[in-house]
């Protein structure tokens, strides 16, 4: 059952697709108080209760024992002491004697203290005095997730080819660099469907432009790559470069489409191209305008995009930069002691994504000026919605690949997400694994992490182990940052090991695609915590390194360096399957703890007793996959 409680006059977020009658907030059967412009909810937890949710967020599947903030943040250091990542997925599921789901449809900052201050209490503080709260009750966590998902509408389904393997890097600077990647993969006989174009494909980082020197005859080039079965996926950033003569900027400025400051001027901030205007995506007319701009690229044959920097990321504002420069000038020639030196350093470090800047931005919603802080978490979601709505109107469903860095619940209907700028750290294999079920609960099905890790240098074994998890994530993309070690599979010694792993993905695509479609159409989760399926089993309840996949499988990636395998807990009898290229090894295992071995070129998988899954033959492109001759394993 879902009940909606409304406090004040909430901002319309379009997160839900069903208009439920509102109950008075005073009748909310959860302890709450409204004071000093914020709302606090609080409930008790028993020692064994589990708290799920928050989608893309740091730490565990069980969110207990930490404080989180829903505040879309451009922060590339995903350490366990962080409180926010790029998304704001404001759904929590408390599972104890009874199960309760809570969706706070509220786009400003929310603090979730889940047993951090008091071990047996969750205290949720929404920074504002108007919100919709949906309270969902049901017999089990999965029943609550289904109810919740039916409230927020069907999840985005990408084109079939988006289940192929994808290679990215910041940046393949020109056509020759892209060609070299495709050739590298083809020569090593490693399957590949997409190559990404990061910011350097543009003319000086201007959205919807092409650097003509790097990519002469872009449309012809895109079409030649399509003939090779390769989709090129360009990035689009939120900020529009301020430049006279640049049509997108001039139109945005002249029509008043950019976010404003309190005095009505365009808010300007610095991102990759220098000073930019930020389209006011919260306005329908601006969404229509920006969305239709993607046509510049779809007209040239592009059929996939990733939307970035849409928290929005702001490196600096001119005002903030001036203050910092003035401070530095004032200290010139001084003997800088601890206070002065670190004070100065903090001023410069605080320039990016500063609260002062966010607080000085205004949106126009229904003719009224609304401060950015009140709608911060909607910004990236609305950018992606702009694109998604244009694509659906123009091309129909399931035609265009689209995923975003920032998101809010509701955006799951028009796009997927990726988990942003992770690191080439072993711990980030598990961070990705833990976010998968949490994101699924909130409707985000098409998702994945930068495989191999984005920041810093990856080792060969890390990339292989990361890929062996990525075999199962709907978005299977290897991406790495400027200046890091080359991370394409064919760059490492013995590329055939990478072929073995990626071929497994292609063999599994018919199965994974079916699980994905069903999850979207029936409000299911692709990935579930073991505790969802085996609630009475203590080891399953506490398991944070394995996931259930569909109705048939369990996955348990190897996540430590120099490990030839790992310990796995089987909550029931299962077949342990090792997949490598076209090789399949099976071994029945009984319920319980087992040490299982998996070489670097092997993908471990567990199939429940009595279940089977299909494998097709691998191919170099998804378009060549044949689903008429399937091998069933189990």
Alpha-carbon distance of 541 to 467, in angstroms, equals 26
Question: Interface with ligand GLC includes 390 (CB under 6 A)?
Answer: no
Place of tokens 């020759």: 176
Smallest distance from ligand GLC to CB 198, Å? 5
- Closer residue to ligand GLC in complex, CB, 235/435: 235
User: If binding is defined by CB under 6 A, does position 405 make contact with ligand GLC?
Assistant: yes
Q: Does 475 bind ligand GLC (CB under 6 A)?
A: no
Which residues, 157 to 176, sit near ligand GLC by CB under 6 A? 170
Contact between 138 and ligand GLC per CB under 6 A: no
* Contact of 447 with 416, CB cutoff 8 Å: yes
- Report, in Å, the least distance between residue 607 CB and ligand GLC: 34
Cβ distance to ligand GLC smaller for residue 112 or 170: 170
For residues 168 and 545, which CB has a smaller minimum distance to ligand GLC in the complex?
168
Q: Is 497 in the site for ligand GLC (CB under 6 A)?
A: no
Alpha carbons 546 and 603: distance in angstroms, whole number: 14
Give min distance, CB of 171 to ligand GLC, in A: 7
Least distance from ligand GLC to the Cβ atom of residue 293, Å: 18
User: Which residues between 217 and 276 bind ligand GLC (CB under 6 A)?
Assistant: 235
Site for ligand GLC in 20-59 (CB under 6 A): none
Count of residues that bind ligand GLC according to CB under 6 A: 9
| C-alpha separations of 209 from 214, 234, 292, 297, 499 in Å | 12, 11, 14, 8, 35
Pick the closer one to ligand GLC by CB: 49 or 308: 308
User: Which lies closer to ligand GLC via its Cβ, residue 405 or residue 507?
Assistant: 405
Q: Which one of residues 75, 123, 193, 421 is an interface residue with ligand GLC (CB under 6 A)?
A: 421
Closest residue to ligand GLC using C-beta atoms = 170
Q: What is the DSSP letter of 20?
A: P
DSSP structure string for 338-366: HHHHHHHHHHHHTTTT-HHHHHT-EEEET
Tokens of 470: 């990525």
Is the CB of residue 523 less than 8 Å from the CB of residue 145? yes
**Among the listed residues 313, 475, 297, 279, the one whose alpha carbon sits nearest the alpha carbon of residue 385:** 279
Residues 6+ apart with CB under 8 A from 544: 60, 61, 62, 430, 434
Q: How far is the CB of 241 from ligand GLC (least distance, A)?
A: 14
How far apart CA 40 and CA 24 sit, in angstroms, is 16
420 touches ligand GLC by CB under 6 A: yes
Residue reference for tokens 């692709």: 526
Q: 420 or 604: whose CB is closer to ligand GLC? A: 420
CB-based contacts of 399: which residues, under 8 Å, 6+ apart? 159, 303, 391
Is the CB of 170 or the CB of 426 nearer to ligand GLC? 170
Residue from 199, 314, 386, 625 touching ligand GLC (CB under 6 A): that is: 199
Please state, in angstroms and rounded to a whole number, the distance separating the CA atoms of residues 88 and 69.
8
* Residue 198 binds to ligand GLC (criterion: CB under 6 A): yes
Name 149's Cβ contacts closer than 8 Å, sequence gap at least 6: 155, 441, 443, 523
Q: Does 447 bind ligand GLC (CB under 6 A)?
A: no
The nearest distance, CB 420 to ligand GLC, in angstroms, is: 5
421 or 524: CB nearest ligand GLC:
421
Residue 308 lies near ligand GLC (rule: CB under 6 A):
yes
Quote the strand ranges of 513-634, DSSP E.
527-528, 547-549, 553-555, 565-570, 574-580, 583-589, 592-597, 603-608, 613-615, 631-633
- Please confirm whether the linkage preceding 506 is cis (ω < 30° from 0): no
Contacting positions for ligand GLC (CB under 6 A): 170, 198-199, 235, 308, 405, 420-421, 479
């Amino acid at each position: 059952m879902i009940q909606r409680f409304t406090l004040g006059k909430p901002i319309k977020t379009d997160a839900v697709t069903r208009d439920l009658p509102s109950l008075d907030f005073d009748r909310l059967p959860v302890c709450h108080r409204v004071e000093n412009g914020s709302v606090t909810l609080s409930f008790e937890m028993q020692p064994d209760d589990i708290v799920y949710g928050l989608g893309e967020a740091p730490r565990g599947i069980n969110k207990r024992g930490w404080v989180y903030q829903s505040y879309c943040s451009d922060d590339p250091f995903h350490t366990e002491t962080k409180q926010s990542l790029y998304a704001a997925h404001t759904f929590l599921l408390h599972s104890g004697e009874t199960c309760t789901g809570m969706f706070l449809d509220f786009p400003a900052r929310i603090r979730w203290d889940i047993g951090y201050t008091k071990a047996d209490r969750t205290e949720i503080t929404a920074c504002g005095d108007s919100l919709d709260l949906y309270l969902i009750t049901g017999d089990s966590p999965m029943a609550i997730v289904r109810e919740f998902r039916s409230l927020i509408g069907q999840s985005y389904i990408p084109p079939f080819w988006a289940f192929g393997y994808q290679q990215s890097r910041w940046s393949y600077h020109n056509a020759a660099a892209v060609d070299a990647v495709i050739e590298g993969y083809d020569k090593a006989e490693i399957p590949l469907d997409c190559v990404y174009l990061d910011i350097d494909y543009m003319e000086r980082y201007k959205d919807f432009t092409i650097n003509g020197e790097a990519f002469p005859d872009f449309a012809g080039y895109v079409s030649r790559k399509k003939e090779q079965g390769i989709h090129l996926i360009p990035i689009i950033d939120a900020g529009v470069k301020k430049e006279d003569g640049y049509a997108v900027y001039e139109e945005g400025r002249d029509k008043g489409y950019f976010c404003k400051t309190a005095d009505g001027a365009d808010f300007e901030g610095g991102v990759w191209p220098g000073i930019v205007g930020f389209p006011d995506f919260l306005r329908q007319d601006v969404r229509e305008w920006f969305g239709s701009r993607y046509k510049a690229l779809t007209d040239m044959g592009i059929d996939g995009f990733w939307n970035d920097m849409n928290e929005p990321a702001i490196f600096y504002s001119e005002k903030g930069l001036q203050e910092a420069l003035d401070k530095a000038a004032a200290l010139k020639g001084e003997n800088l002691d601890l206070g002065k030196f670190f004070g100065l350093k903090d001023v410069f470090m605080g320039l990016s994504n500063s609260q002062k800047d966010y607080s000085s931005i205004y949106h126009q919603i229904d003719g009224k000026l609304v401060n950015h802080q009140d709608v911060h978490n909607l910004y990236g979601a609305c950018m992606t919605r702009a694109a998604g709505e244009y694509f659906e109107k123009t091309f129909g469903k399931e035609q265009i690949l689209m995923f975003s860095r920032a998101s809010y619940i509701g955006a799951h209907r028009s796009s997927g997400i990726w988990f942003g700028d992770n690191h080439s750290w072993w711990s980030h294999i598990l961070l990705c694994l833990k976010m998968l079920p949490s994101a699924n609960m909130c409707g985000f099905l098409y998702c994945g992490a930068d495989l191999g890790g984005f920041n810093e240098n990856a080792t060969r074994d890390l990339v292989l182990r990361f890929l062996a998890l990525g075999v199962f994530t709907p978005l299977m993309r290897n991406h790495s940052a400027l200046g890091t070690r080359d991370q394409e599979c064919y760059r490492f010694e013995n590329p055939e090991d990478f072929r073995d792993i990626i071929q497994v993905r292609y063999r599994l695509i018919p199965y994974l695609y079916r699980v994905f479609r069903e999850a979207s159409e029936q409000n299911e989760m692709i990935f579930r915590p073991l505790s969802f399926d085996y609630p009475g089993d203590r080891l399953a309840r506490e398991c944070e390194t394995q996931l259930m996949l569909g109705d048939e499988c369990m996955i348990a990636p190897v996540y430590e360096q120099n490990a030839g395998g790992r310990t796995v807990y089987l909550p029931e009898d299962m077949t342990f399957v090792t997949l490598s290229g076209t090789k399949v090894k099976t071994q029945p295992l009984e319920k319980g703890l087992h040490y299982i071995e998996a070489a670097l070129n092997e993908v471990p998988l567990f199939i429940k007793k009595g279940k089977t899954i299909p494998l097709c033959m691998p191919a170099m492109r998804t378009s060549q996959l044949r689903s008429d001759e399937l091998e069933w394993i189990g």
